[in-house]
């Protein structure tokens, strides 16, 4: 079974620029998560989708971050404009039905300079 | 609010000695509990999972965890540490959130293995 795919793996941008990350979850997984992991900290949930609907986006900075899940499959996370404090690893994960575990992608390491 | 507490932010052991990483969670209905491991510059990998079948769960690389409902604990153990076990470990609990489940992470425990 293919895992969760994320791209790009690394991205360096200047502050105030925009950036987008892409995630392809495991086939058939209804739930998709985006997490932000700042160096030395645990992952923080940014947004959770159930199929193509948003379940939780309470910690998403909506003035600069946006996310969508196309047709309940792939997802993109966008930051516009980026700030220095957005430097982090952005992790995408997906899970199947019930109380099953989440599978994580390799993450995208964003550096804002 | 639901919470997951990892009692030690850093644990240091010598190679060949036992490992104990502690995790407690707030009391609420959750039939699943997970431990994930993250090696430097790598994604999160599932180490083991509890799914109500047995209270003692075996995972990969010789790790085990015991679910104790009365103590709301899910501590991770390994009889003999290996250098390759050095990594960050996260206890994760899916709590109900409306019709969905929200994964709640502990703050993580950094395991150092000394030669």
Using pLDDT thresholds of 50, 70 and 90, give the confidence band for residue A37. very high
Hey, what are A105's tokens? 């992608």
Q: Which residue has the tokens 């690394």?
A: A10
Residue A72 counted as domain residue = yes
Residue A20 counted as domain residue = yes
The answer, yes or no, to whether residue B63 has pLDDT greater than 70, is yes
Mean pLDDT, range A24-35, rounded to an integer: 94
Considering CB atoms only, which of A31, A50, A101 is closest to B34? A101
Residue A61 counted as domain residue = yes
Q: pLDDT tens across B4-16, in order? A: 999 999 999 999 9
Q: Give chain A's domain count.
A: 1
Considering CB atoms only, which of B46, B49, B102 is closest to A48? B102
Hey, what are B98's tokens? 């409306």
B90 touches chain A (CB under 8 A): yes
B98 contacts in chain A (CB < 8 Å): 55
Contact A102 B32 (CB under 8 A): no
Give how far the C-alpha of residue B76 lies from the chain's centroid of Cα atoms, to the nearest Å. 5
Mean pLDDT, range A97-105, rounded to an integer: 87
Considering CB atoms only, which of B31, B43, B90 is closest to A105? B43
Residues B46 and B89: their CA atoms lie apart, in Å, by 10
The answer, yes or no, to whether residue B1 has pLDDT greater than 70, is no
How many residues appear in chain A? 113
Range of the domain at A29: 5-96+106-112
Using pLDDT thresholds of 50, 70 and 90, give the confidence band for residue A1. low
Residues A56 and B20: their CA atoms lie apart, in Å, by 33
Residues B54 and B67: their CA atoms lie apart, in Å, by 8
Residue A12 counted as domain residue = yes
Which structural domains are found in chain B, ordered by start? Answer: 4-114 (2.60.40.10)
Residue A101 counted as domain residue = no
Q: What's the CATH number where A31 sits?
A: 2.60.40.10
Average pLDDT across chain B, whole number: 91
């Amino acid at each position: 079974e293919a895992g969760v795919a994320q791209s790009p793996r690394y991205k360096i941008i200047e502050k105030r620029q925009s950036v987008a990350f892409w995630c392809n979850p495991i086939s058939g997984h209804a739930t998709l998560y985006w997490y932000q992991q700042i160096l030395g900290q645990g992952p923080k949930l940014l947004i959770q989708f159930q199929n193509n609907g948003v379940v939780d986006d309470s910690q998403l900075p909506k003035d600069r971050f946006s996310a969508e899940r196309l047709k309940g499959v792939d997802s993109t996370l966008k930051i516009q404009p980026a700030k220095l404090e957005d430097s982090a690893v952005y992790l995408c994960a997906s899970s199947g039905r019930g109380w099953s575990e989440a599978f994580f992608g390799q993450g995208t390491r964003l550096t804002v300079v | 609010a639901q919470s997951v507490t990892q009692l030690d932010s850093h644990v240091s052991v010598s190679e060949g000695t036992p490992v104990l990483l502690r995790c407690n969670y707030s009391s609420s209905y959750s039939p699943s509990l997970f431990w994930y491991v993250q090696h430097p510059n790598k994604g999160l990998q599932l180490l083991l999972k509890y799914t109500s079948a047995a209270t003692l769960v075996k995972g990969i690389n010789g790790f085990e965890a015991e679910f104790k409902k009365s103590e709301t604990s899910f501590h991770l153990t390994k009889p003999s540490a290996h250098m390759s076990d050095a990594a960050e470990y996260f206890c994760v609990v899916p709590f109900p959130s409306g019709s969905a489940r929200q994964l709640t992470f502990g703050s993580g425990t950094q395991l150092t293995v000394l030669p």
